[in-house]
Amino acid sequence: MGGRLLAILLALAAVPRAQAMWLGRLDPKQLLGPWYVLAVASHERGFAVEKDVKDIEGVMVTLTPENNLKLLSSRHGLQGCNQNVVELLRRSSGWVFENPTLGVLEYRVLGTNFRDYAVVFTQLEFGEEAFSTVELYSRTETASQEALGLFSKWSEGLGFLSQQQAQLHKDLTCAQKILQ
């Protein structure tokens, strides 16, 4: 157990925290617009089993008049494409958003150049299940090596095992329903 704790602490020390702190001063308007979700790491129960059938998702990020983030997402579900709208409230400090009523305890950008990609961390709680995800947002249908490398670095640094990470299938059907 002591060795595992030491390994986790060393892994977290390798994560590029300076960039995450730098993001605390950015204007959320830089995240606005259309994004493809190309890769996901998740601690959600059942993710490792389902990851092989997940398709690329679409996310449209807008800002409300109250300066909250509004996320319109489209992903493949049992009955075809499911669209979902979530409004996230800005916390008083830093560049962190939340909506505990909807189960979103934390939403933050870990690393980005905003022009091409963003690595997004989300802490969720639904009923009895609490878990976190890391997603790779991309402005295009394919990710750069820089973006994939940053996604892998953050995912591994936050303790996601390889079976908890997935590059999503190249089916753009649902993503394009909201990104056109």
The residue ranges of every structural domain in the chain are 2-179
Q: What is the CATH number of domain 2-179?
A: 2.40.128.20
Average pLDDT, stretch 51-66? 91
Q: What is the pLDDT of residue 25?
A: 53
Q: Return the sign of the alpha-carbon dihedral for residues 151, 152, 157, 159.
A: positive
Contact 57, 81 (CB under 8 A): no
Which pTM does this prediction carry?
Answer: 0.84
What is the band of 94 on the pLDDT scale with cuts at 50, 70, 90?
A: low
How many Å apart are CA 124 and CA 43, to the nearest integer? 10
pLDDT digits (tens, 9 = 90+) for 110-164: 988 888 999 999 999 988 899 999 999 999 999 999 999 999 999 999 999 999 9
Give me the residue label for tokens 């030491």: 6
**Listed residue (36, 28, 95) closest to 62, CA to CA:** 28
The pLDDT mean for the chain works out to 84
In the predicted model, what is the mean pLDDT of residues 161-179? 91
Per DSSP bridges, beta strands 57-63 and 104-112 are unpaired
Name the more confident of 93 and 125. Answer: 125
Percent of the chain with pLDDT over 90: 59
